[in-house]
């Protein structure tokens, strides 16, 4: 994938991914501002800002933003994560510059209307209440809070009701002033587009922002083995078990992809085959790995009838202990084939190329090619995966969070290693 990286005088990084045969374009702006950048009193402010930037600028009302994107034949979206916020649009190639102009206007000239703020505040509080109705979401959020109790990494991206209810327009503007600075932004343009027009637009908008104080150095929290119980009336009980994972940028990330697939990444995984197919204990069971700057988590999540908690927990711990002793050559080859296909096929759309490029620039400081991914996966060995499995699941560090019809703490202590 051919690309060009351009850095403006104020530090704004622009990634161009020209695809001449494409009739569409994906444009986006990544900002290194997420929930991990927030103080305790700012919990949820990054997410609140993401919502408010769609609610009008000094040049366009929120309705005009929506109608203009419709006229461009495109779609506009955004999301907030723990370490960044991404604003992006998909449109026809001929309208790429106009779509990027809307994004730049949203970031540079947000209106922050008080009435709109109150409406959006209620939308966010409703969104938070919706998460509280999901056993798996509750279990995972409580898990992170217990593993990293004194770190912003352990807090929910949406924040808490107390902070979200307190934000003023000035609070949001101040956060934007401190964090939405050009050296902490990456603009990505992929597909077909007017290169000269895009250059001129970005130089005259984001290119005129004043440089800030640079990227934030995160404190790296220690993994805290813990048991957290949340009694709630759910139809099923949910649990999350976590062990320390890999940090962003760790060269063993491809071994982790394969390991995750083997443990709980699909219908052929050990977790799915054992707990659902063989024993019928859990309707939902899977594993995931999340990498952050300096740290990471490998998590197993399951939802099941509350009367079989001991069986589910025992089986999961037994399964993880078994993986620590190694996986088979057949499992390794099957998982590697799936990961190769998923990574390469997943990068075939213009939108996927743009998303991948932005993430790489923000966290790797460089572009990773499809060829590099394939080469890394082809060079991976069974021994690489088994060494990682022994380290991850043999560390003795595990944390548990259960949400639903929970039992006494001693019940879970007796089932955890």
Q: Which residue has the tokens 């106009």?
A: 98
What values do phi and psi take at 209, rounded to 5?
A: -65, 145
Residues 6+ apart with CB under 8 A from 235: none
- Structural tokens at position 223: 């993994």
Q: H helices within 148-282, ranges in order?
A: 161-164, 169-179, 195-204, 253-264, 270-271
SS3 188: strand
Of the residues 50, 116, 136, 141, which is catalytic?
A: 50
**Nearest Cα to Cα of residue 254 among 130, 359, 343:** 343
Do 244 and 295 meet the contact criterion of CB atoms below 8 Å apart? Answer: yes
Q: Is 50 a catalytic residue?
A: yes
Distance CA 143, CA 239 (A): 9
* DSSP states along 135-171: HHHHHHHHHHHHHSTTSGGGS-TT--HHHHTT--HHH
Residue 247 CB burial class (10 angstroms; 0-12, 13-18, ≥19): middle
In this structure, is the dihedral angle defined by the CA atoms of residues 120, 123, 128 and 129, taken in order, positive or negative? positive
Distance CA 344, CA 193 (A): 24
Q: Identify any residues that bridge with 295 across adjacent strands, giving them in sequence order.
A: 292
Q: Identify any residues that bridge with 227 across adjacent strands, giving them in sequence order.
A: 400
- Structural tokens at position 330: 């057949």
Q: Measured between alpha carbons, how far is residue 179 from residues 29, 81, 116, 322, 367 in Å?
A: 14, 14, 22, 45, 24
Do 116 and 56 meet the contact criterion of CB atoms below 8 Å apart? Answer: yes
Which residues are catalytic, by number?
50
């Amino acid at each position: 994938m051919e690309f060009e990286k351009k850095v403006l005088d104020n530090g704004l990084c622009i990634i161009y991914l020209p695809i001449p045969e494409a009739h569409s374009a994906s444009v986006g702006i990544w900002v290194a501002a997420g929930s991990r950048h927030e103080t305790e009193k700012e919990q949820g402010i990054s997410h609140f800002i993401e919502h408010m930037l769609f609610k009008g600028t000094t040049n366009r009302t929120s309705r005009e933003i929506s109608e203009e994107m419709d006229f461009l034949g495109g779609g506009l979206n955004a999301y907030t994560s723990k370490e960044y916020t991404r604003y992006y649009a998909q449109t026809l190639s001929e309208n790429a510059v106009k779509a990027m102009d809307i994004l730049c206007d949203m970031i540079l000239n947000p209106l922050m209307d008080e009435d709109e703020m109150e409406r959006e505040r209620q939308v966010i509080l409703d969104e938070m209440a919706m998460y509280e109705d999901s056993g798996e979401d509750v279990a995972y959020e409580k898990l992170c809070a217990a593993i990293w109790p004194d770190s912003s990494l352990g807090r929910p991206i949406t924040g808490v009701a107390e902070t979200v209810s307190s934000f003023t327009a000035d609070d949001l503007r101040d956060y934007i002033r401190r964090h939405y600075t050009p050296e902490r932004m990456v603009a990505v343009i992929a597909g077909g587009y007017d290169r000269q027009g895009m250059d001129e637009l970005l130089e005259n908008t984001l290119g005129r922002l004043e440089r800030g104080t640079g990227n934030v150095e995160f404190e790296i929290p220690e993994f805290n083995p813990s048991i957290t119980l949340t009694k709630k009336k759910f139809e099923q009980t949910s649990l999350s078990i976590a062990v320390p994972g890999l940090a962003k940028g760790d060269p063993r990330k491809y071994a982790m992809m394969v390991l995750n697939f083997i443990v709980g990444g699909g219908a052929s995984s050990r977790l799915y085959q054992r707990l659902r197919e063989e024993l019928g204990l859990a309707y939902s069971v899977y594993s995931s790995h999340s990498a952050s700057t300096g740290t990471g988590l490998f998590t197993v999540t399951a939802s099941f009838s509350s009367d079989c908690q001991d069986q589910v927990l025992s089986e999961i711990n037994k399964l993880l202990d078994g993986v620590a002793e190694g996986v088979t050559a057949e499992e390794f080859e099957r998982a590697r084939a799936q990961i190769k296909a998923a990574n390469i096929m997943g990068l075939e759309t213009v939108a996927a190329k743009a998303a991948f490029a932005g993430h790489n620039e923000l966290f790797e400081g460089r572009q990773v090619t499809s060829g590099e991914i394939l080469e890394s996966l082809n060079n991976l060995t069974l021994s690489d995966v088994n060494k990682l499995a022994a380290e991850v699941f043999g560390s003795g560090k595990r944390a548990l969070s259960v949400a639903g019809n929970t039992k006494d703490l001693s019940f879970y202590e007796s089932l955890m290693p």
